[in-house]
Amino acid sequence: MRALLQRVAKAEITCAGGHRAAIGRGLVVLVGVERSDGPADVLQLLGKLPHLRLFPDAGGVMNLSLLEMNAAAAGNHATSAPDSPGGLLLVSQFTLHADTRRGRRPYYGAAAEPAQALPLLEQLAAGLRAAGLSVERGVFGEQMEINLVADGPVTLLLDTRVV
């Protein structure tokens, strides 16, 4: 699985079917599921994503995770009530597995089919909620518009194939 994380001041998603979701300060996470991915890949992301230190502490150093970003240690960088986690906007993104080595048209053959990808994304969302995060989502398979205000910018790529 690949997850592209973008730290944001705020983000909003509008889906073709009318669904809308929004977060304040937090992370937009674009997730691509590969054909070879399974529950172990979800567990690997769950072990890393909520705990990455991407938010500033009281001294302005990226020392706080999404779960800790509004803790007392955040000082004036906190934007919500103490001990309130930041928001997370989770978006399915099969194009993260595009192969561009040949020609000019990306090949998406490594991306998982919806029947495989959707249950893994559901498992990821449920695990993030169980960890204590507020998770908003787009609608799987729909055309989506994402508006975000990048914070930093801070952008990271997590790949469960890279050890």
Q: Which positions are annotated as active-site residues?
A: 93-95
For residues 52 and 55, give the distance between their C-alpha atoms in angstroms, rounded to a whole number: 9
Which residues 6+ apart lie within 8 Å of 14 measured at CB? 20, 144, 145, 147
Output the furthest CA–CA distance in the chain (Å, rounded).
Answer: 52
For residues 163 and 125, give the distance between their C-alpha atoms in angstroms, rounded to a whole number: 23
For residues 118 and 148, give the distance between their C-alpha atoms in angstroms, rounded to a whole number: 24
